[in-house]
Amino acid sequence: MPEKLDLERALVVGVASSALFDLEASDAVFREEGEERYRAYQREHLDDALEPGVAFPFIRRLLALNDLSEEERLVEVVILSRNDPETGLRVMRSVQRHGLDITRAIFMQGQSPYRFMEPLRMSLFLSANEADVREAISMGFAAGRVVGPGIDDDGGTDLRIAFDFDGVLATDSAEQFYQKGSLEEYQRNETDLADEALPEGPMADFLGKINRIQAIEDARSASNPGGYQRRVRVAVVTARSAPAHERAINSIHQWGLRVNDAFFLGGIDKGPILAVLEPHIFFDDQRRNIDTTSHLAPSVHIPFGKLNGA
């Protein structure tokens, strides 16, 4: 793997141990028996690898994209943990046991580590701790809470990512307009503003870094027509429908970004669509949507915008 890391160019993701691994047993010890027993429990189980959590397949596949470049690291994942360094040893040993290419970590006993997103130029922070995620969002960082059980990883290297649009790739300004009036007024407004790009939302920078990796795949495909199998695919799965779909498409284009697929569902349940699409991660700003998708695909709630009290 290439060792050169340029934080400005690379896709840097922070992941809490609670998002990467299944910590249900460890957390139960902490809640029921306190911190000292929790520390002892982690020491006793130091060589017992933690089982994969919700974000594990996504993180593993993301890191695998580093083999697309021999000159620089395209992706860097950093562990951001509320554990102290001693109890964090089990997390890092689990990383090693699972063969994850993660060497950097920040351990802050009992404190949220999201504050280090800015100096590390992180495009995303994933955690199961809702308070940490909400505070990171309130400070302008892209952060999401993983929801639901872990899903089996088949060991492949392809990566499918699905985003909601409003409140995720774009701000929630159009959603706010919809909440104040009728569907007819909303559709008319979006038609009138079809050529006016919405402001970028919390996940736009992340998509931009993914698009940079896709550009490398474009070059490989162009040099080997028909012989290169693309690994990264991006979809938008949104409650928008015609005619409001035009503003979404035009916004993504005007931001200089792109997606491979778009599903304009007009408010129908996203779950059955995701069951067929099978993304390795799905980002949505509305918890009610996540509740219907998290048992079908690894899902992340982005608590951004007024509907989330942000």
Please report the pLDDT score of residue 111 as a whole number.
Answer: 85
Mean pLDDT in residue range 150-155:
80
| pLDDT over 80 (residue 27) | no
Whether 181 shows a pLDDT value over 70: the answer reads yes
Q: Is the pLDDT of residue 236 over 60?
A: yes
- Give the model confidence (pLDDT) of 279-295 as tens digits: 999 999 999 999 999 99
Q: Which tokens belong to 305?
A: 């915008």
d(CA 1, CA 181): 53
Tokens 């792109």 -> residue: 258
pLDDT tier for residue 3 given thresholds of 50, 70 and 90: low
Residue 180 banded pLDDT, cuts 50, 70, 90: confident
DSSP structure string for 17-82: HHHHB--HHHHHHHHHH-HHHHHHHHHHTTTSPPPB-TTHHHHHHHHHGGGG-SSS-SEEEEEEES
Q: What is the pLDDT of residues 70-124, one digit of tens each?
A: 999 999 999 999 888 888 899 999 999 999 999 999 999 888 888 899 999 999 9
Q: Is 232 or 86 the better-scoring residue by pLDDT?
A: 232
The pLDDT value given to residue 1: 43
| Whether the predicted pLDDT of 2 surpasses 50 | no
Domain 159-308 has CATH 3.30.300.180: no
The pLDDT score that the predictor gives to residue 32 is 86
Read off the amino acid at residue 152: D
23 band by pLDDT with thresholds 50, 70 and 90: confident
For CATH 3.40.50.1000, list the domain ranges present in the chain.
11-147, 159-308
Stretch 49-59: mean pLDDT: 95
| Least-confidence region, from 43-47, 110-114, 168-172 | 110-114
**Contact between residue 41 and residue 136 where contact means Cβ atoms under 8 Å apart:** no
Lowest-confidence region among 39-48, 159-168, 197-206: 39-48
Rounded to whole angstroms, how far apart are CA atoms 9 and 198? 25
Which one is predicted more confidently, 180 or 147? 147
Compute the average pLDDT of residues 39-54.
89
CATH superfamily entry for domain 11-147: HAD superfamily/HAD-like (3.40.50.1000)
Q: Per-residue pLDDT for 35 more than 70?
A: yes
pLDDT-derived band of residue 244, with 50, 70 and 90 as boundaries? Answer: very high
Dihedral sign for Cα atoms in the order 179, 180, 186, 189: negative
Query: What tokens appear for 91 in the block?
Result: 């997390």
Q: Bigger pLDDT: 263 or 28? A: 263
Q: What angle do CA 92, 90, 130 make, to 5 degrees?
A: 85
